[in-house]
Structure 1
Amino acid sequence: MNDGIGKLILRLALGILILLHGIAKLKGGVGGLTGAVTGAGLPAFVTYGVYVGEVLAPILVLLGWYSRIGAGLIAINMLFAFALVHRGDWLALSNTGGWALELQGMFLFTAIALALLGPGRFSLNDK
């Protein structure tokens, strides 16, 4: 029982927090990311992948429906964020001494953990 509740809490935390980023992108668009994507030599349409990583994937995680796939997509999205948007901050510390990318790191490693653990008992399927 505790295992299922723990996984549910992880799914809810990751899913809600990433989905909020996705909702902001649905409202404001992804144009601000296009420069980072094209600057890395990727085609501009790759920018729209953020909708997969920040809207579709967190919905899968929240529902516990193919949540391992959703968590994997979130992890991939975060790796793109690290490489394209935050590449200058990998070793940086914040003003308070924490890692400058601690939030992004928490998203990445929580997504990896959920992809490995699965959704738990309180989910639509066990995948």
Structure 2
Amino acid sequence: MKKNIDLGFLILRITVAGLMLFHGVAKLSHLDGIKNMLSSSGIPEFMAYGVFITKIIAPVLMIIGFRTRLASIIFFFGMITALFLAHSGNMFALSKTGGLQIELILLYAFGALTLFFIGSGKYAISSKHIWD
């Protein structure tokens, strides 16, 4: 069977970023809750708009394959920030099925980190720039 690594890169981009895009769109209606969580942590409320960058803009760029490495590292740090802000009490807690409660965040974060290291592949709008 012939290897098609670039198709694998495309599938990874669409899966990681596409699924996160649903979370980002859902966050649009919960911005006040995010602002409250940030202010209770001593973080300025305007940082809540970073959710749009990390959960909407970065995933769209990853899906289309434009500046994939840059978008992926932004996405990664957004997931790590969410992990510490919203889930710090659950870091080592297990779910009812035996997995870590934070495993979904970790899958998103490390999927994005993988894309940062491998880039967009040839099935992308842009693939020649250093940030692709």
* Largest Rg, 1 or 2: 2
1:12 corresponds to 2:18: no
TM-score, normalised to structure 2, is 0.91
Aligned residue for 1:30, secondary structure, equals: helix
1:78 corresponds to 2:79: yes
Aligned residue for 2:66, secondary structure, equals: coil
Q: Which residue of 2 aligns with 1:37?
A: 38
> Matched residues in 1 for 2:73 and 2:85: separation?
18
Comparing 92-101 and 30-39, the one that deviates more? 30-39
Matches within 5 A, 1:107-122: 107-122=108-123
> Matched residues in 2 for 1:79 and 1:40: separation?
15
For residue 38 of structure 1, report the CA deviation from its aligned partner.
1.3
Q: Which residue of 2 aligns with 1:68?
A: 69
> Matched residues in 1 for 2:76 and 2:32: separation?
22
Unaligned runs of 5+ in 1: none
Task: For residues 70-126 of structure 1, give each alpha carbon's deviation from its aligned partner in whole angstroms, at most 9, with x where no partner exists.
Answer: 111110110110111011111111001001111111000000000111011100112
TM-score, normalised to structure 1, is 0.95
Q: Which residue of 2 aligns with 1:93?
A: 94
Unaligned runs of 5+ in 2: none
Q: Which amino acid aligns with 1:78?
A: M
For residue 42 of structure 1, report the CA deviation from its aligned partner.
1.0
Q: Which residue of 2 aligns with 1:22?
A: 24
Q: Which amino acid aligns with 1:7?
A: F
> Matched residues in 2 for 1:68 and 1:40: separation?
30
Q: Which residue of 1 aligns with 2:51?
A: 50
- RMSD value over aligned CA atoms? 1.0
